[in-house]
Every structure is written in structure tokens, then in C-alpha cells.
Structure 1
Amino acid sequence: MGGAGGQGEAVVAGVLRERHRLAAELHDTVTQGLTSMHLLLDAADREWTREPVRARQLVRQAAAAARENLAEARRIIHDLAPVELDGAAALADVLRELCAGTDGARFRLEGEPRPVPGRVEAAVLRAAQGALANVRRHARASAVVVTLTYQPYVLALDVWDDGVGFDPDGGGGGDAAARPGGDGLRLLRRRIAYLGGTATVESSPGGGGTVVSVCVPVPAPVPAPVPVPGHGQGARPGAGAA
């Protein structure tokens, strides 16, 4: 009973953590986007008669904010969809396919693949998808290396590219929600932190390239039981004979 109760409490705690993460994502992206649109349209309404040119500029800014907000809403919905992974090597196979669809990308596997919790695989896959999407949109890279490493207590992902780089602390322009140094990095770190892991980005503008690193703790592999000769195979021949 105690074990079942502990399992139930762990499930409830996991659901609450996921709800908190999702609420934070919605606040940081969708809610802030809607607030921005509201302020821009309210300002345009005030300027509509007095400064029509300025009012049109504000409406265009609100339209741009709406497009970005729609993209963020679609991303969150996509992230909520279950990831189809089945088997110890499935994550490596999916990452290999992702690299095949990205120009100049290649995949490396370190360590021996083994089953890890599905939520860990899903988070690592989302991180890889986001990193490769940023490479395609922003990096102008000629080479990309995605490395998945199975360690005894850790599952690690590294995505390196030789592109133009950016300032991880300063944004760097473009779609801030999609840039690793904008909301995307903050949300990635939060998602990985809920699993007890870390996510970092090392980059510098002007051709310094970028490395996205994710490290998530996983249970150690359980060694297969060593069979004991004669155990569970019935009595040995002649055993019990007088």
C-alpha cells in the first residue's frame, strides 16, 4: 500500500510540475504577446484621427505581434503532442533522420543506447528539433554536428554549428521567440530544469558558431541478474537420494 501511495503521489507531483511549466510558457509567450497587441491597437486607436500615419504603423506592429504569437501558440501545441518513440535506439534513429533533413548536418552516437524515461527522450528530442530549426533559420552554417551521449547516469545532447553565431545574452535580432538566446532558451532551460537537468548555449556573434548542450540525469542501467547454477531448475540429479 505504501509503495502504491508513493507512486500515486509521484504521478500527481509530476502532473503539477507539468501544469506549472505549461502555465509559465503560456505567460511568457502567448499572454505577453496578447498584451503587446492590445497596447499597440489601443495606441493606434488614440492616434487614428490625429496621426493616421503613426496609427497605421502601430497597426502593422500589432499584426506582426499577432503572427509571432500565432507561431508560438502552434509551437506550444506541437510540444504538447506525444512523441512517438519506441525502443532503446529510437531516439538515436529520430535524431539521425533529423540530421538527414538538415543540410550539412551529421549525427554521432556515443555510448550504448538504452531505455530511458519517455519524458526525458521527448525533452531531448524537442531540444534537438529547436536547435536544428534555429540553425536552418539563422545560423547560415556549412557544418552541423548533433551528438547524443549515453552515460551511466546522464543523457546528453550537443548541437554544434559553424554559423554566424549570436549573443546568447543579448538576443541578436530576428524572431526573439525562436532565437536560442531569447524566449526559446529560457523555455528550453525551464523544460530541462523540470527534469533535473541543465541546458546551455555557447555562442558569439561574427562567425563564432554555436553549441547547444543539454544534460539530463537518468536512472543507471539495471544489470541483468546473473543466473545461479541449479537455481530454479529443480533438484540436481541424484539430490535427495539416500
Structure 2
Amino acid sequence: MAGARGQGETVAAGVLRERNRLAAELHDTVAQGLTSMHLLLDAADREWTREPGQARQLVRQAAAAARENLAEARRLIHDLAPAELDGGSLPEVLRGLCAGLEGARFRLEGEPRRLEWRVEGAVLRAAQGALANVRRHARASAAVVTLTYQPYAVALDVWDDGVGFDPSGSGGGDGLRLLRRRVGYLGGTAAVESTPGGGTVVSVCLPAPAPAPAPAPAPAPAPAPAPAPAPAPAPAPDRA
């Protein structure tokens, strides 16, 4: 697994670049927009008694800035969805992660289905973090990533046969706290089971209700009744 160290460093550099990009985006859009709103509302407050018409105009400008800022915030939130999921399903992406780590394999249980993007993103980030720890610290010869689709939940288990650690010590503190926080926002749970020399299992479970069945198509309208035949003309009177 030491041969994959370069790949791990490349991934870490990519994460840092993306973090810096998002920080710059937040500064240039959301932070600047909030500053503009603050200045406009301060000016409106000063003019409220002397120039009420001008104050109302400033408030309207602040409202317009708020609308623009909200649109930018929504765009940034959309950009936070993992780009890896744009090119494939969650099982495909996880299988690709395992293919990039010597000794790792992927298992799929249950019937795959598309989940809400935040749920898929949390599962993907959990798998990436667990495999990064396997690569850097575990000195493992084998690892298994299992993705399980349940009727109302999705579960991820990442097992390795590495050196393990004591979860109550400093070895898993920050990483486990961050993992629990990420999945906790979505109503999920995360746990780590490990012992020194006994390998590690990282488990994540998130609520993921099955999509509602599509409504049954409306029945086709009954055909209109055929018009009644016209009555036959009465016979002409016999004039003989």
C-alpha cells in the first residue's frame, strides 16, 4: 500500500485547492454581498427621519442585494456536491476508489437506488476518509468497502486488517468527531470499532427513505357512445 502514497498526496493537494477556491468564492460573493447590505441598511437608518424617500430607496437596494446574495449562496451549496458523483452512481464511484487502493475490494448489498445528493455525498466522504486512513496508517494487506441499501437507510462499512488502534485514545478522536458531525447533520450515525493489532471497522448509517412509487397513470377515458342511427323514413302512402 505504500505505492499509493503519491496518490494520497495528490488527493490531499486537490482538497486544499478546492478549499481555497471555495474560500475565495465566499469572500468575493457572499461576504461582499453581506457587506453591501450592511452599508445600505446603515445609510437607510441615518436617512430615515430626514429623507424617508431616500431611506426607502436604500432599503430596496439592500433587498435586491439580499436576493442576489441568496442566489449566490444557493449556487455555492450546489457546487459543494461531490463532483465525483456527476460522472457515475455511488456504487460505481466507491468501486473506483477501491480499484485505486491495493488490496481493497468493493461489495454491494441490496438494490441500488439514487439517493438525495447530501446523503450520497456524506457516504462518499466517509469512504474516502476511511480509505485514506487505511492508506496512511493501517499498514493493512486487505480492506473491504461494503455499501448496503436498506428499505429506509443506506449503510457503509469499511473494514481493514491493519494494525488497529485504541478508539478511546488520541488515535481516532478528531476524525471520528468530524465524521459523526457530518452524518449527524443528516440524522445518521457513525462508529469505529478497533483494537491494537486487530484491524478497524468504520460504520456509517444514514436515513434514506425509498422514493415514493410513481402515481398510477390515469385510466383512459371511456369512448364516447356511438350516435343512435337515424330513424328510417316512413313509407310513402299508397295512392293506387
User: Normalising to structure 1: TM-score of the pair?
Assistant: 0.59
Deviation at 1:117, TM superposition (A): 0.8
Q: What is residue 222 of structure 2 aligned with on the other side?
A: 235
Deviation at 1:234, TM superposition (A): 3.2
Cα contact 2:142–2:160 (8 A) shared by 1: yes
Q: Which runs of 4+ in 1 moved over 4 A?
A: none
SS of residue paired to 1:186 = helix
1:55-105 residue CA offsets vs partner (Å, 9 max, x unmatched)? xxxxxxxxxxxxxxx99x939928x74312248x61111100000001100
1:6-47 residue CA offsets vs partner (Å, 9 max, x unmatched)? xxxxxxxxxxxxxxxxxxxxxxxxxxxxxxxxxxxxxxxxxx
Aligned residue type for 2:200: T
Q: What is residue 175 of structure 2 aligned with on the other side?
A: 184
* Percent of aligned positions that are identical: 74
5+ unaligned residues in a row in structure 2: which ranges? 1-11, 23-79, 229-240
Deviation at 1:192, TM superposition (A): 0.6
Alignment CA distance shift 1:93-1:125 (3 Å): same
Aligned residue type for 1:182: G
Q: What is residue 74 of structure 1 aligned with on the other side?
A: 16
Once the two structures are superposed, the pairs formed by residues 18-167 of structure 1 within 5 Å of their partners are 74=16, 77=19, 81-84=80-83, 85-86=85-86, 90-167=89-166
Deviation at 1:134, TM superposition (A): 0.1
Aligned residue type for 1:214: V
Cα contact 2:159–2:200 (8 A) shared by 1: yes
Distance in 2 between residues matched to 1:91 and 1:195, nearest whole Å: 17
Q: What is residue 235 of structure 2 aligned with on the other side?
A: none
Tell me if 1:213 matches 2:198. no
5+ unaligned residues in a row in structure 1: which ranges? 1-69, 173-180
SS of residue paired to 1:141 = coil
Cα contact 2:98–2:106 (8 A) shared by 1: yes
Alignment CA distance shift 1:75-1:128 (3 Å): farther
Point out the structure with max Rg over C-alpha: 2
Aligned residue type for 1:137: R
Deviation at 1:223, TM superposition (A): 1.9
Alignment CA distance shift 1:194-1:186 (3 Å): same
Deviation at 1:106, TM superposition (A): 0.4
Q: What is residue 34 of structure 2 aligned with on the other side?
A: none
Distance in 1 between residues matched to 2:160 and 2:211, nearest whole Å: 31
Deviation at 1:150, TM superposition (A): 0.9
Q: What is residue 65 of structure 1 aligned with on the other side?
A: none
How many residues get paired? 156
Cα contact 1:99–1:107 (8 A) shared by 2: yes
Distance in 1 between residues matched to 2:206 and 2:96, nearest whole Å: 22
